[in-house]
Structure 1
Amino acid sequence: MNTLRPPVKVALAESVGVLARGDGWAYEPKFDGHRVLVFRDADGVVLQARSGRLVGSAFPDLAAAARRLPEGTVLDGEAVIWTGGRTDFAAVQRRAAATPARAAVLARRLPASYAAFDLLADGGTDLRRAPYERRRARLVELLGPLGPPLQPVPMTTDPELAETWYETLPETGIEGLVMKRLDQPYRGGVRAWRKLRHTDTRDAVVVGHTGARQRPGALVLVLPGDDTPVVSSPLAPGLRTVVGAALAGAIPAGEGTATAVGVGEVTYHRVVPELVVEVGQQTTRHGFVTVLRPKEN
C-alpha cells in the first residue's frame, strides 16, 4: 500500500547564526533525541534511524504506539526521553544502543516519547513534494486524536514567539530552533532547513574510546540527531586523565569500527553509553569534533 520503504534519506538542516524573519517562515523547537522515521504499513511498524539502521527492537514502546497510526503513514521526528522535566540525550542513546533483551527493561524504566515534525506519507500517498504547510496541517490532524507518546512538535509562524522559545526553552533541554519555509518540499539528504543553536558547543554521548580506558587517545561519540559514531580529534594530554577517570566505571561492550577524519577506519573499544561530554564541532558534517570536557551528572 505504502510507496515508501526504508531506507529513506532524511531532510537535514544547515547551521545559521540568526533567526530567519519575513513572510513564509515556520519555526519549531529543536529536540535533541534520536532521529527516527516511523513506517506504518499493513505488516506492522518499522522504525528507521537517520543512518538507515532499523531500530524497532530498541524502541518497542514507540513501535507499539505507532500501530495506532493508519496504514500507509510515514513520520519523521525524534525519539526523546524526559527525566526531571528535561530531555535526556544520554538516556535516549542508551535506549538506542540496547540489545533486544535489554530493550524491554529499559522501555519500562526510560519510556520514550516521539516528537514528530514531518509527515512523509499519508494513506500510502508520498507527500514529500507537497509544501511543508500542507504536510504540517495533516500531521497535526493525524496525531491530535492519538495523544502521547506520539505528538507533533510545537510550531509557530510568529518570529516573536519563536524568539521567546529560543530564549526560554533551553532549560528543558531544547537546544534551539529549526526554521522551514511553508512552501518547501521535503528534500531528503539536502540541508534545506535551517537550525539556530545557542552555542557552538554540543553534548555528545561516549560510545567508545581508542587506547587504554584509563588514558584514552580519542573518544568515539554519537551526536544529537545522528546515530553514526564519530571519532573525536586526539584528546589533549591533560584531558586524557580527566576523561579516563570519568570512564572508570564504564561497562565494556566489545569492539567496533568508526571513521576518523584524515585517518580512515579505526578500531575502538565500545562502552555502554553513560558518559556525556561537551564538544565543539565545525559546521561541516565531516569536520573535526573536539572534546572540551566531561559533563557532570
Structure 2
Amino acid sequence: MEFPTKVALAQAVPALPEGPGWWYEPKYDGHRTVLRRTDETVVLYARSGRVVTQHWMDLAVAGMELRPGTVLDGEAVIWRNGRLDFAAAQSRAASSMTRARALATRYPASYACWDVLQHPDPAIGDCRNRPYTERRALLLELLADVGPPVQVTPATDDRDVAVLWYDALREQGIEGIVCKRGGAGYPSGQRRWLKVRHADTVDALVLGFTGPRLRPHHLVLAVGDEGGPARVSARLEPVLAARVGEALSSAAVVGERRAEGEPYTRVETDLVVEVLAGSGRHGTLTVIRMR
C-alpha cells in the first residue's frame, strides 16, 4: 500500500436502503483516522492524509498491541458521561502537541474501527479488493485479543436492527447509520457507502476564515468533496465562533485568498463543519456545528 491512502466516503441518503446484501453500522461523531502499525511504531492519518499521530498519542500507544503490517480504518472518538463528545474530539484534532497531551489525560480517546485495509499476514496483505464481509471477518479476528480503546464497531445485516440502532443510539451521540454492500470492496476515495443522519445537514471542509482567528466572523468552506469550490458562510453565532476559533488556533496559515469576492485567511486544517442542507443554493451557507 502507498501512504497516505485515500479513505472511502459516504453519500447522504434520506432512508436506510432495503434488500439483501446490505450491512449497517453506527455512524460515529468523531475524527476519521487511519491507523497504521509499522514494524517499529504506529502512524495515524487524518482523512486528508495528514499525519496526526501527535494529536492521538493515547491511540498510538494502544495501537502498538496490533501486529506489524496492520492498517485499519475507523474513527477517533471521545466519550464523556456515556455520550460522544464531538467538540472534545475536534479540539484534540486541532490542538498543539502539548495541549493534545493535556487533553488526552482529561478526556482519553477511543478508536471505533470498522475496516481493515491491510492484513499483517503477507499471504493476505492489501485487503481493499476483498468483499466487505470477508474484511469484516478478518477484522474481528485481528482485534479479538486487543482490548479498549481499540474496538470493532457493531455491524448487522438486519435492517430492522439498524432501524432500532438509528432510534435508540441517538441519545449516546450516534449520529446515524452507515450502509455498505456486503459483496463490495473498499471504495478508496469514492462515495459508494451510504449514510443516513438524524440532522438534515451536509459536511464542509474549512478552507479559511474572515475576521480574527479566535472568533472568526465567517468560514470559507468546500462543501461535500474536498475539491469543491470555496464558499463563504453566513456569520457565525458567538458560541460557535469561539469553538471554531479554538479549533483553528494552531492551524498553519497558508496566505490570503479570495472567495466569492471576499478576502479571507487560508489555513491548513482538517476541520469539518456541518451546514444546513440546501442553505447555500440561494444564499450563504449556515454553519450548524463542528464535526
Q: TM-score range with shorter-chain normalisation? A: 0.7 to 0.9
1:159-188 deviation per Cα after TM superposition (whole angstroms, max 9, x unaligned) = 000000011111111111000011110120
Amino acid at match of 2:105: R
Corresponding residue for residue 83 of structure 2: 86
Corresponding residue for residue 158 of structure 2: 158
Corresponding residue for residue 238 of structure 2: 243
- Residues 204 and 106 from structure 1, CA distance in 2 versus in 1: closer, same or farther, beyond 3 angstroms? farther
For 1:267, which of 265, 275, 280 is the aligned residue?
Answer: 265
For 1:119, which of 113, 116, 119 is the aligned residue?
Answer: 116
- Residues 260 and 35 from structure 1, CA distance in 2 versus in 1: closer, same or farther, beyond 3 angstroms? farther
1:65 equivalent to 2:79? Answer: no
Residue correspondence of structure 1 range 74-223 to structure 2 within 5 A: 74-123=71-120, 124=122, 125-201=125-201, 209-212=209-212, 217-219=217-219
TM-score by length of 2: 0.81
Corresponding residue for residue 291 of structure 1: 286
Which secondary structure does the structure 2 equivalent of 1:135 belong to? helix
| Contact kept? 1:90, 1:205, Cα under 8 Å | no
Corresponding residue for residue 3 of structure 2: 6
Q: Distance in 2 between matches of 1:9 and 1:265?
A: 31
Q: Distance in 1 between matches of 2:30 and 2:135?
A: 22
Q: Distance in 2 between matches of 1:153 and 1:245?
A: 30
What is the root-mean-square deviation of aligned Cα atoms in Å?
A: 3.9
| Contact kept? 2:274, 2:288, Cα under 8 Å | yes
1:216-238 deviation per Cα after TM superposition (whole angstroms, max 9, x unaligned) = 54125799x9999x976342xxx
Q: Distance in 1 between matches of 2:115 and 2:273?
A: 30
Amino acid at match of 2:84: T
Q: Distance in 2 between matches of 1:83 and 1:47?
A: 23
| Contact kept? 1:219, 1:231, Cα under 8 Å | no
- Residues 248 and 161 from structure 1, CA distance in 2 versus in 1: closer, same or farther, beyond 3 angstroms? closer
Amino acid at match of 1:137: A
Which secondary structure does the structure 2 equivalent of 1:90 belong to? helix
1:42 equivalent to 2:55? Answer: no
| Contact kept? 1:77, 1:118, Cα under 8 Å | yes
More displaced stretch, 14-23 vs 257-266: 257-266
CA shift at 1:244, angstroms? Answer: 7.7
CA shift at 1:290, angstroms? Answer: 2.1
Which secondary structure does the structure 1 equivalent of 2:53 belong to? coil
1:54 equivalent to 2:90? Answer: no
Q: Distance in 2 between matches of 1:182 and 1:249?
A: 38
- Residues 269 and 46 from structure 1, CA distance in 2 versus in 1: closer, same or farther, beyond 3 angstroms? closer
Question: Structure 2: 5+ residue runs without aligned partners?
Answer: none
Question: Structure 1: 5+ residue runs without aligned partners?
Answer: none
Q: Number of residue pairs matched? A: 280
Q: Distance in 1 between matches of 2:151 and 2:243?
A: 38
Which secondary structure does the structure 1 equivalent of 2:139 belong to? helix
Which secondary structure does the structure 1 equivalent of 2:232 belong to? coil
- Residues 143 and 264 from structure 1, CA distance in 2 versus in 1: closer, same or farther, beyond 3 angstroms? farther
CA shift at 1:263, angstroms? Answer: 5.9
Q: Distance in 2 between matches of 1:63 and 1:214?
A: 29
| Contact kept? 1:12, 1:192, Cα under 8 Å | yes
- Residues 139 and 227 from structure 1, CA distance in 2 versus in 1: closer, same or farther, beyond 3 angstroms? farther
| Contact kept? 1:127, 1:135, Cα under 8 Å | yes
Q: Distance in 1 between matches of 2:193 and 2:131?
A: 13
Q: Distance in 2 between matches of 1:38 and 1:234?
A: 33
